[in-house]
Amino acid sequence: MSEDRTAAPPAESRPDLRADCSNCFGLCCVALPFAASADFAVGKEAGKPCKNLQADFRCGIHTRLRQEGFQGCTVYDCFGAGQQVSQVTFGGRDWRQAPETSRQMFEVFPVVRQLHELLWYLTEALTLPAARPVHADLRGALDDTERLTRQSADDLAGLDVAAHRGRVNELLLRTSELHRATAGRKAKDHRGADLIGARLRKADLRGANLRGAYLIAADLTGADLRGADLIGADFRDARIGGADLTGSIFLTQAQLNAAKGDAATRLPAALTRPAHWS
């Protein structure tokens, strides 16, 4: 029997797309900048280690991040890019022992992070039966993206990742259209909408397009989001207690971590209920 090249494992079965801090050189704690705000107790420049980063590249306050004012760290996800850059791209040479690698390592990390995020979305897209008409193209994009992650540091630093994202996004848009059509209804289009603080309690958002929507502090209590496209939606402080997110697509753990849910919130199988939810 020939191999089915349209099939793909579900995203939750790919540990390489989940952060493994034990095999990373604390890259998100060094390479990325952040400003003092409600999300970060203090600010720091890109390339400067966070004051909480320990000698073993672990966070010294990992279990107390929210209490210590570093909520922003709890809603960040590298999709496994940290261990990829640390162990594969740079072959296990860390920026402390080989300081000459630091500049390029910190430059490459955000690029690989974007590629790994695309791998997460493409892997999920390949599990959707409604997207079968574009499965072959999705598989090709997945293979191309994985190939890019294995390039040298020099090649990654020079990669036009925005152009690649644009090509992949066209396929993800088509996937979204096919999947949302299964809702069997004319769904609402809220792509990129400003829904900050919106009152959407028990709203019927089945099959809705919420790509890139601003849902900051929105009240989605008890809302029906089955089959909705949630790629890039900003869920910071959104109230989703009792909401049904099963069947929604392109939702990430970081988005859930930024929201306020509860035990009654229904989630896609690939994601877990955040520990800080009541």
In the chain, what are the domains? 16-180 (no CATH), 187-278 (2.160.20.80)
pLDDT at 14 over 90: no
> Which residue type occupies 25?
F
- Return d(Cα 249, Cα 179) in angstroms, integer: 8
Q: What integer pLDDT is reported at residue 85 of this predicted model? A: 98
pLDDT at 59 over 60: yes
pLDDT in tens, 135-192: 999 999 999 999 999 999 999 999 999 999 999 999 999 999 999 999 887 878 999 9
Q: What integer pLDDT is reported at residue 124 of this predicted model? A: 95
pLDDT at 276 over 80: yes
pLDDT at 3 over 50: no
Using alpha carbons, list the distances in angstroms from residue 147 to 16, 84, 143, 150, 168: 14, 13, 6, 5, 14
Q: Give the residue among 271, 2, 16 at the shortest CA–CA distance from 145.
A: 16
Q: What is the mean pLDDT of residues 192-210?
A: 97
**pTM listed for this prediction:** 0.92
- Return d(Cα 113, Cα 118) in angstroms, integer: 9
Give the mean pLDDT of the chain.
93
